[in-house]
Amino acid sequence: MTKYIYTLFFTLSFSFTSFSQGVSSEEIEQGVADYISYFDSVNLQTNYLLNLSFQGVEDFEKFSPVDNQSHHYVFSSSNEWKRLYYKVKNAEKSQSTVLDLQETISNTITKSNQIPIGLIDVHGDYVYDNGFELYFNATTQKLYDNVTADKKHIYGVSNLISSVDDLTVEFLIHSSFLLKDNSHYSTVAIDFDNGTGYKTYTLNNQTISINYSSGGEKNIRFKVVKNNEEYISYSTLVVNDYSDIVIEKVQPITSQITPENSNGRVTHVEVQGGEIHFFLDNEDDFDKPVLIVEGFDPSGTTTPQRLFGKYAASENWVDMLNAGYDIAVLTFDENWDDLRDNAQVLKDAIRFLNEDKNGDHDIIIIGESMGGIITRIALKEMEDDGIDHHVSLYISHDSPHKGANIPLGIQTLAKSITEAEQDSKIARYLIDLLSSEGIDELKGILNSATSTAGRQMLIRNFSHLNSIDNEYTNFQQFLNNLGWPSQSRNISIINGSNDFESQLKHFQFPNRGFQQLGDDYINLDFGRKWYNFLGAVVNAKVSPIGQQNYQVSRLYLKVAFIDIVNYRRHANFNYNSPLDLLPGAVSRNDLINGYCFVPTVSSLASTNDMLNNSARYIEDQRMWSKRTLIGDGSIPFDNVYSPAENTNHTFINQRNEDLMDISMNEIWGLVLQQEVMVNEGFLQNKTINGEWAFSTNTSIEAGRFAMPDEWGNHPNSANDKLEDIGDFVVKSGSNIRLTTEGQVTNCV
């Protein structure tokens, strides 16, 4: 059997490197040779030895149909297929070229609506653990002669991209993604879930154009027939219908970054840019502007159409468009750069909108996540410079004003994986056990954390394991010194629980108080396989509180009795706030079920100490009095809208699976009805100092007791704004304009 050095890690689904443990490449190569030589005496029936890539039979059994039956069913996905591809290729005795799938996919497709199809249909040999132990000769350190392996069938077909933003999809059959052994068939039948049933296609390079009548999740079935047996593989594709979303025009924005507008700091750029994408109302008259400012998107995957479609999917947004509001989306050329530089882009975008719009309607700005912080900076700096921004309503959508959180365990594991992969001299893949997308997600987290914007927003950063990153501290000081805009009505929509429910239920730790920390996000422990010859641990923990030198992650590999990789990452936690478990917006990915990404106290921009005032963050303790939060200045917003339970960060069309009473979509409906398309206006908890305008369709009430009857005070009511009483003050010398078809009432 040919001995491939880079197959060493395949048994554990790892590749590895010699770096800090003093293990030479010669020792590693010898370990590889020793391990592969164990199988020299195995009677192989195929070109694949599955022991070289699969950890155990459970690692491939879902793709292993039992032959000699009339029907066989497997379920796959784009991520699982890619993982399966690497494992099968790594098990190949006479190995042909192993593709970098992501690169090959990128080079194969020429349009955003193209999706390659991948097919794997091979047989391989596998020696079970008990067979290994039964036939292992401890004296020779090899298997006895003529050990027989079991022949296993590996089958899976899937679309290699999981979502598309077009109703017309071009599926590609391409030889690069067809991996077959001696299976004698040349066609595949596919049901694309478009109402036409199965159609048969040859396995030659070709493009299959499919038109879907509507968006949604499509259940795709792939069927091959051989020896009168049917093999069916199921996968899904999310089709996003943006066919009605038309960008009317795009306006480039170029901003000069000068010492005068850089707040005295040293900036590495002289020019920053962005684009305004216009989606006009049914009248095609740009007169009632609503600007959506994009959030953090360092990978550039959020298109203007997708961002617009996310908001416009609800009935309330349709009503708003029908009422004549015009939507524009601002994207940044350097999305990951300093938030203060991109605030200059937003300033110039506001200037352009004011010049370009018809009539005297003020601008409404929705700042999504990071975009909410950028909006805050831009508006306040314009006011400080004496510039009338004509923004009447500023909506902060789950923005991390006090910082965002990615668990240090996840960050440091990503760091370990990246370092080991970069230093590797013999391994192609680091963690094949995680899907290729899972690895990409970890790398994406690392890239996010190292960007300027990421460091400004992340409360803890892997680059500072013993303390808080100075970038975050300095940026928070800048925001504190800057303050908040006063000429706009400022409201916050948060995705975190307004009842301060912790994240514990998302991690499925029943009946635990928040003090029981240190649980595992990821815990892949392969123990010791085959006489302690192999072993691996991949671990990332929930961050503790008040701990020093605490191990937050570990990446370990033992092969041929040698510790090849043994990363242990430790950090100090000099505070009593359980960041990972705080009430707040949830982030989920392929690796973990969820963690607190934007704490509620952060999206509220509370003046309370983020890290050392955790008494009110504990599960089952009620939050501050709703009338107190705004009344005593604990938060800077005029209104806050929130769900009773934690929901995904910036999601709108999400109903919580934990029987949440009010969906985020319904909460947004309240915002649009009570803040944007206003019939009855209620003004309170607001101080006007300067020019200000407000309009409704039927009536306006202003003053301490201006409120509709449905604004209750039940802590779980999503109708309940986080304030229910407060004065409406107009400072001397200010000018306000209240416009309504009905009556204006002073409710003091």
- Within 560-656, where are the H helices? 600-603, 626-631
Task: Check residue 477 and give its pLDDT.
Answer: 96
Which residue among 397, 430, 446 closes a domain? 397
Domain termination residue (choose one: 371, 397, 423): 397
Segment holding 558, helix H or strand E: strand 550-559
| Residue 11 DSSP code | G
Residue 10 lies in a domain: no
The answer for residues whose C-beta is within 8 angstroms of residue 134's C-beta and 6 or more apart is none
Higher pLDDT, 746 or 196: 196
The residue ranking higher by pLDDT, 216 or 708, is: 216
Q: What is the pLDDT of residue 264?
A: 54
Q: Percentage of residues in the chain with pLDDT exceeding 90?
A: 32
Highest mean pLDDT among 104-108, 321-325, 396-400: 396-400
Integer Cα distance of 473 and 464 in angstroms: 12
Question: Going by C-beta distance under 8 Å and a sequence separation of 6 or more, which residues neighbour residue 640?
Answer: 491, 492, 493, 494, 498, 604, 629, 630, 721, 722, 723
Instruction: State whether residue 347 is helix, strand or coil.
Output: helix
Q: Both 231 and 304 in a single domain?
A: no
**Region of poorest pLDDT, from 322-331, 420-429, 672-681, 727-736:** 420-429
- Which of the pair, 498 or 358, is modelled with greater confidence? 358
Contacts of 283 (CB under 8 A, 6+ apart): 324
Q: What is the pLDDT of residues 648-688, one digit of tens each?
A: 898 886 444 443 335 677 788 778 877 887 677 777 767 77
DSSP assignment string, 468-517: --HHHHHHHHHHHHH---SSSEEEEE-SS-TT---SGGGGT-TT--TT--
pLDDT beyond 60 at 189: yes
Q: Are residues 256 and 214 in the same domain?
A: no
Please report, in angstroms and rounded to a whole number, the separation of the first and last CA atoms in the chain. Answer: 89
191 and 119 in a common domain: yes
Q: What are phi and psi of 564, to 5 degrees?
A: -85, -50
Structure confidence by residue, pLDDT tens digits, 346-384: 999 999 999 999 888 899 999 999 999 999 999 999 999
Phi/psi of residue 217, each to 5°?
Answer: -85, 125
Shared domain check, 199 and 65: yes
Question: Is pLDDT at 513 greater than 60 in this prediction?
Answer: no
Q: Is a pLDDT exceeding 50 seen at residue 95?
A: yes
Kindly state whether residue 679 falls inside one of the protein's structural domains: yes
Over residues 582-593, mean pLDDT: 74
Q: What is the reported pLDDT for 419?
A: 78
Give 20-30 pLDDT, tens digit per residue.
344 555 655 56
Whether 483 shows a pLDDT value over 70: the answer reads yes
H-type alpha helices, 135-266: none
The per-residue pLDDT of the chain, averaged, comes to: 78
Q: Are residues 209 and 307 in the same domain?
A: no
Q: Are residues 42 and 182 in the same domain?
A: yes
Return the higher-pLDDT residue of 442 and 132.
Answer: 442
Does any domain span residue 509?
A: no
In this structure, the answer to whether residues 185 and 256 fall within a common structural domain is no
Kindly state whether residue 440 falls inside one of the protein's structural domains. Answer: no
Residue 316 has pLDDT above 60, yes or no: yes
- Identify the pLDDT of residue 447: 80
For residue 717, what pLDDT is reported?
A: 40
Task: Give the per-residue pLDDT at 87.
Answer: 84
Q: Is residue 292 part of a domain?
A: yes
Is residue 253 scored above 80 in pLDDT?
A: yes
Mean pLDDT of 485-506: 80
In the chain, the number of structural domains is: 3
The pLDDT of 638-644, averaged and rounded, is 82
Domain edge (last residue) among 397, 419, 447: 397
Mean pLDDT across the stretch 508-532? 51
Mean pLDDT of 217-227: 91
What integer is the mean pLDDT of 608-630? 53
What 3-state DSSP class applies to 13?
coil
* Ranges assigned E (strand) in 286-340: 289-293, 326-332
- Residue 34: its pLDDT value, please? 65
Whether 173 maps to a domain, the answer reads: yes
- Convert the pLDDT of each residue in 688-716 to its tens digit: 777 766 777 778 888 877 776 655 443 33
Non-local CB neighbours of 457 within 8 Å, separated by 6+ positions: 296, 339, 370, 373, 400, 403, 404, 472, 475
Cβ(446)–Cβ(461) below 8 Å: no
Residue 292 DSSP label: E
Q: Find which of 106-120, 228-242, 580-594, 628-642 is predicted with most confidence, using mean pLDDT.
A: 106-120
Q: At 724, is the pLDDT very low, low, confident or very high (cuts 50, 70, 90)?
A: very low
One domain for residues 60 and 131: yes
Higher pLDDT, 691 or 303: 303
In tens, the pLDDT along 270-299 reads 778 999 999 876 666 788 899 999 999 877
Interval 635-659 mean pLDDT: 73
Could you tell me if 373 and 329 lie in one domain?
yes
The range of the structural domain enclosing residue 56 comes to 38-239
Q: Clarify whether residues 286 and 206 are in a common domain.
A: no
Higher pLDDT, 492 or 499: 492
Give the range among 130-139, 592-601, 739-748 with minimum mean pLDDT.
Answer: 130-139
Yes or no: say if 331 and 277 are a contact pair by the CB < 8 Å rule. yes
pLDDT at 528: 47
For 12-70, how does the pLDDT look when each residue is reduced to its tens digit (9 = 90+)?
Answer: 333 333 333 445 556 555 655 666 666 776 778 898 988 777 767 777 888 887 665 65
Q: Which amino acid is at 656?
A: N
Mean pLDDT on 196-213: 96
The pLDDT > 70 percentage for the chain reads 71
Same domain, 211 and 152: yes
d(Cα 185, Cα 225) in Å, to the nearest integer? Answer: 8
CA–CA distance, 395 with 292 (Å, rounded to integer): 9
pLDDT of residue 678: 67
Do 452 and 474 meet the contact criterion of CB atoms below 8 Å apart? no
CATH number at residue 292: 3.40.50
Inter-CA distances, 711 with 454, 662, 743, 747, Å:
37, 15, 21, 16
Confirm whether 11 is domain-assigned. no
Residue 130 lies in a domain: yes
Per-residue model confidence as pLDDT tens digits over 124-178: 988 876 655 666 666 766 666 667 788 899 999 999 999 898 899 999 999 999 9
Q: How large is the average pLDDT for residues 384-400?
A: 95
pLDDT of 726 reads 67
* Same-domain status, 233 and 372: no
Q: What is the pLDDT of residue 569?
A: 94
Q: Report the range of poorest mean pLDDT among 388-402, 451-465, 693-707.
A: 693-707
What is the reported pLDDT for 587?
84
Mean pLDDT, to the nearest integer, of 324-334? 92
